Amino acid sequence: MSKKQKRMLYRIIASAVLLLAAALLPLEGWARVPAFLAPYLIIGWDVLWRAARNISHGQVFDENFLMALATVGALCVGEYPEAVFVMLFYQVGELFQNCAVEQSRKSIAALMDIRPDYANIEVDGRVEQVDPEDVEIGSIILVKAGERVPLDGRVTEGSSTLDTAALTGESLPRPVRPGDEVISGCVNLSGLLRVRVTQPFEESTVSKILDLVENSSAKKAKAEHFITKFARYYTPAVVLAAAVLAVLPPLALGWTWTDAVKRALNFLVVSCPCALVISVPLSFFGGIGGASKRGILVKGGNYLEALAHTETVVFDKTGTLTRGVFQVTAVHPDQYPEEELLELAALAEGYSEHPISRSLKQACHEPLELRRVSGVEEFSGRGVRAVVDGKTVWAGNDKLMEEAGAQWRPCHHTGTIVHVAVDGLYAGHIVISDQIKEDAPQAVAALKRLGIKQTVMLTGDAAEVGEAVAKQLGLDQVHTRLLPADKVSRVEALLAETSAKGTLAFVGDGINDAPVLSRADVGIAMGGLGSDAAIEAADVVLMDDKPSKLAEAIAIARRTLSIVRQNIGFALAVKALVLVLSALGVSNMWQAVFADVGVSVIAILNAMRALNAGKT
Amino acid sequence: MKKRFKLVDLDCANCAAKMEEAIRRIEGVNDCTVSFMTQKLTLDAEDGRFDAVLQEVVKTCKRVEPDCTIVI
């Protein structure tokens, strides 16, 4: 508890004791006035003072004024104990609310506590701790085991494993060796690392993420706008209703003036808008905080809202659903063993740096002895011919096989096919293709379970390749052979198909798809770790490159939104109920205070559940 | 120009909303957000007269929510 809060606690205790004494003492008539006024002033002087001051500033309908008016009114009609109790209860509620908000603020801040406090620099053989902001590009910093990497850089010495959980939500540690890039915010788990700094602190990943999450409360969701607007009309309306209630019924229905005024005073207490106004942004903030803990960065409450209403998900293929790296996926030999066919092809292509040659070389288990190869000739766009161990090996596409005079046969697999012929005889073929990410099928299945109406894939690839991937993953639609501009028009067409409330999310790797990312209702970039372009262009950033995180993001968004709805519904319902009961004369001022502060505390506690959203 | 300021003793969410509303109406302010959660004020104002606008913002803050101070 802060000093301020402690002082308030003492005031509450003092006032409560005096109130109890005043209520128990056998006081009669005017003696009651000072006895109750003392605890009232102890607990309420600051409310009265603020009410008076704010009116002089032209701020009429604030909480202080309403509470002051209600309790002073109660004192005037002779309800001394009630006036004191209401003020006491109000202050207790405020204190509790204050603590709850501070607590939640702290737990959210703790979540995002990835800011490094210092960086170790070696000066004349001694290690010095300096502010990360003072470290220049090119300096060598030391990261000891257990420390947080303070700045983005490249490892020059040492190897270790890094815990990236704070950034990606991924619990599996990532190994690093000299030459690897390291990203600020990760925790060094084992060895000592020397890192050459490549980014100043302001440009480092950690600063960018913190900036993004802090700024996220600036982009308000519709629900937030609704509630602040609502509060602006709600308070004056209820105050007006209170005035009417105090004056009309005694004139028209013959109520006593005291009775009418008492009911009206209840209205004033209920008219405070804080419960509503606080719970909505707090829920969104909690949801965004909870998502960032799981490696999902959401740039604002509005995007969380849009994500919850996702109807169509459009994926880019390469790098999003597939790894974007070519690999040998099948070897179909005709007369040689598999290993040998692969080796022959890899040797023939041994001197080439073509991506296909590289994937062939990667697929071989044994190191290649390139001195076995001679007389290499490349046929652009078709393949190569080389002499390996005295045999003439042809490796390439079907056209090259025609030239070699080999009887080639087609393959039922999709991908790039490398045919091999040895001394004019067909030896078989090797299939090279981009691989689907491990969790991509799960990702699509999870989206279907969440009730996403359409899953679409867009790709610039050939029809067979794209369709094969789409079929394997169970996607609803696939559009192939698209140029970047075609992708935009496709997304526009799909946008037109979504219903008025539904939204379209586009998921890409953030490279080359900035126009589509911005055109979609929610642009989601994957593999944000280390990619500035992705973090800039997208509305939502999935820090690691797992497409399955998308379903998780949507689940978090939906849960947050349902908490927001619960809070709005609950607060409005309780307030409406107490208003009706007050008008009928059934409810008293204590219940009215509960409808104000009690409801805000409950709403705050409920909002905090958003922090844990997405745990299933 | 966009700048962020820390707010001290911003105690109620509705006051934050009211402050934001009032600051937006100041001439020269392009955009403004008062975040109750992060206790921060983000002010986007015209480049040339940022300081003058900021003065006005401080004054407005004093009027709407006298308990709250902007750390400059």
Question: For residue B28, what is the domain's CATH number?
Answer: 3.30.70.100
Q: Are A130 and A121 in contact (CB under 8 A)?
A: yes
Task: Indicate yes or no: CB of B36 within 8 angstroms of CB of A50.
Answer: no
The predicted structure's pLDDT at residue A83: 85
- Over 90: is that where the pLDDT of A454 sits? yes
- Angle subtended by helix axes A205-215 and A274-293, to nearest 10: 160
> Tokens 């219903």 — which residue?
A499
**A54 interfacial to chain B (CB closer than 8 Å):** yes
Distance CA B1, CA A58 (A): 30
Q: CA nearest A480: which of A461, A494, A498? A: A461
Judged by CB atoms closer than 8 Å, whether chains meet at A59 and B63 is answered as yes
Q: Mean of the pLDDT values across residues A307-328?
A: 87
A153 touches chain B (CB under 8 A): no
Give the mean pLDDT of A363-369.
82
As a CATH number, domain A136-199 is: 2.70.150.10
Of the residues A107, A213, A214, A230, the best mutation for testing chain B's interface (the one with the most B CB atoms within 10 Å of its CB) is A214
Average pLDDT, chain A: 85
Q: A215 vs B42: CB contact, 8 Å cut-off?
A: yes
For residue B64, list chain A residues with Cβ-Cβ distance below 8 A: 57, 59
pLDDT at A281: 82
Residues in A touching B35 (Cβ below 8 Å): 217-218, 281
Quote the pLDDT of residue A504. Answer: 95
Q: How confident is the model at residue A494 (pLDDT cuts 50, 70, 90)?
A: very high
Q: Does residue A616 surpass a pLDDT of 60?
A: no
A449 exposure class (CB count in 10 Å sphere: 0-12, 13-18, 19+): exposed
Q: What is the pLDDT of residue A424?
A: 84
Q: pLDDT of A288-298, one tens digit each?
A: 888 888 888 88
How far is it, in rounded angstroms, from Cα A100 to Cα A609?
13
E strand segments, chain B: 2-8, 29-35, 40-45, 69-71
Q: What is the mean pLDDT of residues A601-606?
A: 85
Residue A480, helix vs strand vs coil: coil
Mean pLDDT of A24-33: 79
Please give the average per-residue pLDDT across A142-149, as a whole number: 89
Q: Which residues of B touch A278 (CB under 8 A)?
A: 12-14, 36
Q: What is the pLDDT of residue A94?
A: 81
The reported pLDDT for the residue numbered A528 is: 63
CATH 3.40.1110.10 in chain A, residue ranges: 325-433
Which residues of chain A are within 8 Å of residue B42 when distances are taken between CB atoms?
215, 218
Would the pLDDT of A169 be above 80? no
Fold of A296-322+437-556: Rossmann fold (3.40.50)
**Chain B within 8 Å of A50 (Cβ-Cβ)?**
yes
Is the distance from CB of B5 to CB of B39 less than 8 angstroms?
Answer: no
Q: Look at residue A614 and tell me whether its pLDDT is greater than 50.
A: no
* pLDDT score recorded for residue A155: 92
Angle between helices A274-293 and B13-24 (to 10 degrees): 90
- Contacts across the A-B interface (CB distance below 8 Å): 56
Q: Which residues contact A325 (CB under 8 A, 6 or more apart)?
A: A359, A434, A435
Whether B18 sits inside 8 A of A53 (CB atoms) is no
Question: To the nearest whole angstrom, how far is the Cα of B49 from the nearest Cα of chain A?
Answer: 23
Reading phi first (left if > 0) and then psi (alpha if -120 to 50, else beta), residue A388 is in beta
* Cβ–Cβ gap A281/B38 under 8 Å: no
Task: Give backbone dihedrals phi and psi of B21, rounded to 5 degrees, phi first.
Answer: -60, -45
Distance CA A358, CA A355 (A): 5
Interchain contact A138–B (C-beta under 8 A): no
| Architecture label for domain A325-433 | 3-Layer(aba) Sandwich (3.40)
A97-142 confidence digits (pLDDT tens): 778 777 777 776 676 677 788 899 987 778 888 888 888 888 899 9
* Residue A199 clears pLDDT 60, i.e. is over it: yes
Give the range among A305-319, A429-443, A518-532 with minimum mean pLDDT.
A518-532
A217 min Cα distance to partner chain B (Å): 7
Residues of chain A with CATH 3.40.50.1000: 296-322+437-556
Give contacts of B36 with chain A, Cβ < 8 Å.
Answer: 278, 281
Highest mean pLDDT among A25-34, A138-147, A249-258: A138-147
Q: Which of B17, B38, B63 sits opposite A231 (nearest CB)?
A: B17
Burial class (CB in 10 A: 0-12, 13-18, 19+), A117: exposed
Question: CB of A217 within 8 Å of any CB in chain B?
Answer: yes
Residues from chain A that touch B38, judged by Cβ atoms under 8 A, are 105, 214, 217
Q: What is the pLDDT of residue A315?
A: 92
- pLDDT score recorded for residue A19: 87
Chain B residues whose C-beta sits inside 8 Å of any chain A C-beta:
4, 11-15, 17-18, 21, 33, 35-40, 42, 63-64, 66-67
The reply to whether A103 touches chain B by the CB within 8 Å rule is no
Q: Look at B36 and A58 and tell me if their CB atoms are within 8 Å.
A: no
Q: Which of A98, A217, A274 sits opposite B35 (nearest CB)?
A: A217
Chain A's closest residue to B9, CA to CA, is A4
Between β-strands A477-479 and A454-458, what pairing exists: parallel, antiparallel or unpaired? parallel
Would you call A554 exposed, middle or buried from its count of C-beta atoms within 10 A (0-12, 13-18, 19+)? buried
The radius of gyration of chain A's CA atoms, rounded to the nearest angstrom, is: 34
Average pLDDT in the A534-563 region? 88
Q: For residues A270 and A575, is the Cβ–Cβ distance under 8 A?
A: yes
| Cα distance between residue A568 and residue A277, in whole Å | 9
Contact between residue A48 and residue A95 where contact means Cβ atoms under 8 Å apart: no
Distance in angstroms (rounded) separating the CA atoms of residues A92 and A71: 15
Per the structure, the count of domains in chain B is 1
- Domain encompassing residue B29: 2-71
Q: How far apart are the CA of B69 and the nearest CA of chain A, in angstroms?
A: 15
CB contact under 8 A, B14 and A277: yes
Q: Is any Cβ of chain B less than 8 angstroms from the Cβ of A218? A: yes
**CB of A428 closer than 8 Å to CB of A336:** yes
Cβ-Cβ contacts under 8 Å, A220 against chain B: 33
ipTM: 0.79
Catalytic residue among A316, A513, A544, A596: A316
pLDDT in tens, B17-56: 888 888 988 888 888 888 887 788 888 888 888 888 888 8
pLDDT number for residue A495 = 92
pLDDT value, residue A194: 92
Q: What is the pLDDT of residue A230?
A: 86
DSSP letter string, A56-69: HTT--SSHHHHHHH
pLDDT reported for residue A409: 86
The 10s digit of each residue's pLDDT in A255-300 is 888 888 888 888 888 887 776 777 788 888 888 888 888 888 888 8
Angle at B19 between CA B17 and CA B24, to 5 degrees: 100
Q: pTM for the full model? A: 0.78
Yes or no: say if B68 and B19 are a contact pair by the CB < 8 Å rule.
yes
Check residue A491 and give its pLDDT. 92
- Average pLDDT on A518-532 reads 79
Those residues with Cβ within 8 angstroms of residue A80's Cβ, 6 or more apart along the chain or in another chain: A22, A32, A33, A36, A40, A74
Q: Among partner residues B11, B64, B67, which is closest to A98 by beta-carbon distance?
A: B11
Nearest residue on chain A to B41, alpha-carbon basis: A218
Angle at A77 between CA A76 and CA A78, to 5 degrees: 90
CB contact (8 A) between residue A108 and residue B63: no
A316 is catalytic: yes
